[in-house]
Amino acid sequence: MEIFNHNANVNFLGMRRLSIGIAVLLVLASLALIFTRGLNYGLDFTGGVLVEVQYQQPADVGQVREALAQGGMETAVVQSLGGTRDMSIRMQPTPAMRDVDGKVDLDRVAAVIGKALQASRPDAVLKSRSSVSSQVGAELRSDGSIAAVFVILGIGIYLWVRFERRFAIAAIVTEVHDVLVTLGVIALVQREFDLTVLASVLAVIGYSINDKVVVFDRIRELFRLARKAEPEEVLNRSINNTLSRTIITSLFTGITMLALYLIGGPVVHGFAITMLIGIVVGTLSSIFVASPILLWLGVSKQDLMPRSKEDPELARRP
């Protein structure tokens, strides 16, 4: 079975002004979203208390919010954990949740929230409760950024050594694009940004670079094989040759993440959805963004010939 016409030769590089223009717009829009709307940081990052509640009968988020407001907890963030019976409630601890020393006491947290919920719905049962101090969250945010920078730089250095400087730069720029656009979408839909989502964003970098390397590899191969290598044509052919693989792999990985999203439960919801967004962004950028950058950086056949040809003896001959 084949979905793609293997003779297709779409001129992807021909639309590079348009594709890069859209990519730049997306990055700018994402940055604007991240800085104006901000990420909806989860408990791990903001600190506070979180409880997971299960209702015996279906309940809706508004109802839970109202019950909490009745109990004096107006600022609580209530989210459905998929379905109508499981909810998560997140908030900064109220004075009633602290013990005599001012420390958060999970038993008190459970008592205060449980009482407020059961006042209107006696079928509410608390399934888990957590408390995180804000200091932990601040550390995490810096750790996460450091990890992302480390990943991007590490990959850049590897590509520099294995390929060439221009490939490393193109990969890093595209990676930054992918991460920002993924974060932009998360900011747009205000999906809760927790630890698993952070893990997923880092995994998106891994996935997306995997995708780019396959195209880069083909570019190197075609440059080396071609007698007369017109860069634009070589890049176009590389994208077209690997197109079916690029799309099939993202479909295959996508369906596993879809399975995880559909039945993996609330814990991995954020992970799966972020990964799905990242797969779409990463696949598109492999096709439309990475290669135009490479072209602009001026990649050429000479840069990619095996080292042995750069023998100084040969260079000195007329």
Partner 1 sequence: MTDFPRWKYALVALVLLFGIVYALPNAFPPVPSVQVAAIHGAVVDTALQQKVAAALKQQNVAYSDLALDGDRLVADFANADVQAHASDVIRTAVGDNYTVALNLASTVPGWLRAIGAKSMPLGLDLQGGVHFLMAVDQNAVIDKQEDRYTDDIRSLLRQKNIRYDSVARNSQRGQGVAVVLRAAADRNAASAAIAAEYPDLNVQDGATTGDRFVLNAAVKPEKLRDLALGAISQNVGTLRNRINALGVSEPVIQQQGDNQIVVELAGVQDPAEAKRIIGATATLEYHPGIGFPGDPRAVEAARSGNVPPDARLYYERGSRRPVLVSKRIIVTGDELADAASGVDQQSGAPKVDVTLSAAGARKMLDYTTANVGKPMAVVYVETLYDTKIVDGKETRVPRVSEEVISDATVQGVFGKNFQTTGLATTKEASELALLLKGGSLAAPVDIVEQRVIGPSLGQDNIRKGFRAVLLGLGLVLLAAAVYYKLFGLVADIALFFNLVVLLAVMSLIGVTLTMPGIAGIVLTLGMAIDANVLICERIREELRNGSTPHAAIRAGYEKAWATILDANVTHLIAALALTTMGSGPIKGFGVTLLIGILTSMFTSVTVTHAITALIHGHRKLKTLSV
Site for partner 1 in 171-200 (CB under 8 A): 195-196, 198-200
Q: Which of 60, 74, 143, 311 binds partner 1 (CB under 8 A)?
A: 143
Half-sphere exposure of 199 (CA within 13 A, CB side): 10
Give the nearest distance from C-beta 287 to partner 1 in angstroms: 15
Q: Give the nearer residue to partner 1 in terms of CB position, either 69 or 153.
A: 153
14 interacts with partner 1 by CB under 8 A: no
308 interacts with partner 1 by CB under 8 A: no
Give the nearest distance from C-beta 297 to partner 1 in angstroms: 19
Contact 277, 182 (CB under 8 A): yes
Give the nearest distance from C-beta 90 to partner 1 in angstroms: 13
10 interacts with partner 1 by CB under 8 A: no
- What amino acid is encoded at 297 in this protein? L
What φ, ψ does residue 277 adopt, rounded to 5°? -60, -45
Contacts with partner 1 by CB under 8 A: the residue count is 77
* Distance spanning both ends of the chain, measured CA to CA: 53
Give the nearest distance from C-beta 219 to partner 1 in angstroms: 11
135 interacts with partner 1 by CB under 8 A: yes
**Burial, 89: exposed, middle or buried (Cβ in 10 Å; 0-12, 13-18, 19+)?**
buried
Please identify, among the stretches 16-24, 184-192, 269-277, 288-296, the one whose residues bind partner 1 according to the rule CB under 8 A.
Answer: 269-277
Name which of residues 240 to 259 contact partner 1 (CB under 8 A).
241-242, 244-245, 248-249, 251-259
Q: Give the nearer residue to partner 1 in terms of CB position, either 54 or 120.
A: 54
52 interacts with partner 1 by CB under 8 A: yes
219 interacts with partner 1 by CB under 8 A: no
Give the nearest distance from C-beta 12 to partner 1 in angstroms: 18
Contact 31, 181 (CB under 8 A): no
Give the nearest distance from C-beta 318 to partner 1 in angstroms: 35
162 interacts with partner 1 by CB under 8 A: yes
Q: Give the nearer residue to partner 1 in terms of CB position, either 22 or 217.
A: 217
3-state secondary structure 174-225: HHHHHHHHHHHHHHHHCCEECHHHHHHHHHHHHHHHHHHHHHHHHHHHHHHH
**Burial, 301: exposed, middle or buried (Cβ in 10 Å; 0-12, 13-18, 19+)?**
middle
Question: Distances from the Cα of 259 to the Cαs of 62, 79, 166, 282, 317, in angstroms?
Answer: 29, 22, 38, 20, 61
Give the nearest distance from C-beta 115 to partner 1 in angstroms: 17
